[in-house]
C-alpha cells in the first residue's frame, strides 16, 4: 500500500470511529432522558425531605442563613403541596 492509501484508510477509519462514538453517546443520552421521564415522580413528602436536607446543608456551609432557608422551604412547600 502506498502512503496516500494508508492515509485515506486511516482518516476514513477515524471518521467512522468518531461517528460510532457520537451515535453511542446519543443513544446513551436518549436512554437516560427516557429513564428520567418515565420514572415515577417522588411523592410530596419525599421531595420536601430532600429540600430540607439540601437547605440544612446550605446553612451548614454558610451559603444561606437559617432564616433564608426557612422562608425558601416554606415557599417550596407551598408549591410542592399545590398551595401556591
Number of H helices, E strands in the chain: 3, 0
Q: What is the pTM of this model?
A: 0.49
What angle, rounded to 10 degrees, do the helices at 66-80 and 44-60 form? 170
Q: Could you read off the pLDDT of 65-81 as tens digits, one per residue?
A: 999 999 999 999 998 88
Residue 82 or residue 7, greater confidence: 82
* pLDDT of 6: 63
Contact indicator for 58, 72 with CB cutoff of 8 Å = no
HSE of 38, CA atoms in CB hemisphere, 13 A: 6
Q: Could you read off the pLDDT of 8-46 as tens digits, one per residue?
A: 666 666 655 666 666 667 777 877 777 767 666 678 888
HSE of 54, CA atoms in CB hemisphere, 13 A: 9
Amino acid at each position: 500500500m502506498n502512503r496516500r492509501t494508508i492515509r485515506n484508510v486511516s482518516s476514513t477509519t477515524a471518521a467512522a470511529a468518531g461517528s460510532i462514538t457520537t451515535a453511542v453517546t446519543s443513544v446513551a443520552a436518549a436512554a437516560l432522558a427516557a429513564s428520567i421521564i418515565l420514572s415515577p415522580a417522588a411523592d410530596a413528602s419525599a421531595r420536601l425531605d430532600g429540600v430540607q436536607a439540601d437547605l440544612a446543608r446550605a446553612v451548614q456551609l454558610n451559603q444561606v442563613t437559617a432564616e433564608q432557608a426557612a422562608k425558601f422551604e416554606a415557599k417550596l412547600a407551598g408549591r410542592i403541596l399545590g398551595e401556591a
